[in-house]
Structure 1
Amino acid sequence: MSDTNQWGDIAQKGLWNNNPALVQLLGLCPLLAVSGSVVNALGLGLATMLVLTSSNMAVSLIRKTVSDAVRLPAFVMIIASLTTCIELLMQAYTYELYTILGIFIPLIVTNCAILGRADAFASKNPILPAAWDGFMMGLGFTLVLVTLGAIREIIGSGTLFANMHLLFGEVGRNWTLTLFADYPGFLVAILPPGAFIITGILIAGKNVIDKHLADKAAAQKDKPVKGSKRVRTTGKIA
């Protein structure tokens, strides 16, 4: 496989074919718990992406020096250390958002998607492909998280991009879009049951798209090539 194909294949797997949230169904606890708004989802998604990318790089660096006996404990220690660094950064620069996300920032350590990529990919590949894999997997997880947060915020509160100043400072204070005036709100969308329902719809939508693409590819494969001629056989032996 050429380098270009390798990078493209890694990106396609992270964003779509092997998306941690829609295909692997990993990290669903924070996905469902804190995705009630875009700012919460984006904050947790960026934190997870940073930990995933940096942990993949660190694991790739030590892949030839760590024995199989201590491989997994070493990976967990790396992930825990990097999660602590991200946690301290959020306490320093986005403290209010950090308090809202609460226990789900430290729980990044237990996200199976991060440990899974460290063991399945980073421990077997050089640093650059490992970093790219971590970034794309983290980006795929973040995109699903933000999409879920946007849908829940719109349905639940009638707004979009509310409280973005928690992540971007005062420049984001006026980013709120009020989509429905005097909207009474829809509580179920903000609560965990609403997250389960909307996540199920997103997964079902992805499956429908995948089936449509597979059927289209199969139809293209069976379609005769334009300009080709069928050879007529007479059954005679020369």
Structure 2
Amino acid sequence: MERKKILITNDDGVESPGINKLVEELMNIADLTIVAPDRQKTATSHSLTIEGVLPIKEVPMPCGYKGFAVVNGTPTDCVLIAIKDIMKDELPDLLISGINLGANLGGDILYSGTVAAALEGLTQGITSFAVSLDSFSLNGHFETAAKAVAKIVETKEFYKNLLQERSILNINVPNIPYEELKGFIITRQGDLSYQNYVEKYTSPRNKTYYWIGGDRPPHEIDEETDSYAIAYKKVSISPINIDLTNYRLLPRLKKLLSELKL
């Protein structure tokens, strides 16, 4: 059987434990190309470097593989550089973005560089997954997420129609040992959003600066949502469409259009 060609990227940087554990798990079943930021680029969403140069360097990864690090590049930059240049003569069969430090549930995906990289893969015609672990610890159970992803990769029928559906898979994994997982479940994007806050400070030199953060609320009670699945030890798989149109609202707005005058 021909080995798949997989492009791997992330938003936590090429040295993060998540991407290294993913490479360790997949290197025996696929041919991998790793192109990732050289530093932490979390919450950069779908940002693209329009001005300025993007140097690239080959770096040894802790897992023993060699990867490409894009200096100060965003996840979207990395995907474009990989597809338009590094892999242009032999495009990947699959793009996997992750494993992210921290889950990407509900409204998280609007900010996520991890999810954005997968969406960029989709726009470039590559079947794509975003993978996240529900932990911000560098010592989290990344092996659990890596094994879960490998199971999905090996089940080709599960994702063979993603491109024609213009969708990616957003995969979230509980931070528990693999043996404690309760299985896979198909979920919808929930409504979970961080309770954001902005803290204002004044430096010793009388300069104003801010610290932006957020607290995640408890999981949702809707059993079909991604956050509910994580709370109950299941791997959440959400098909995410690149089309953001609210189709339920379209008919009502069309009826009201006559009231809108120039």
- What is the TM-score of this pair, normalised by structure 1? 0.29
Q: Identify the structure with bigger relative contact order (alpha carbons < 8 Å, sequence gap 6+).
A: 1
- What is the TM-score of this pair, normalised by structure 2? 0.27
**More strand, by proportion:** 2
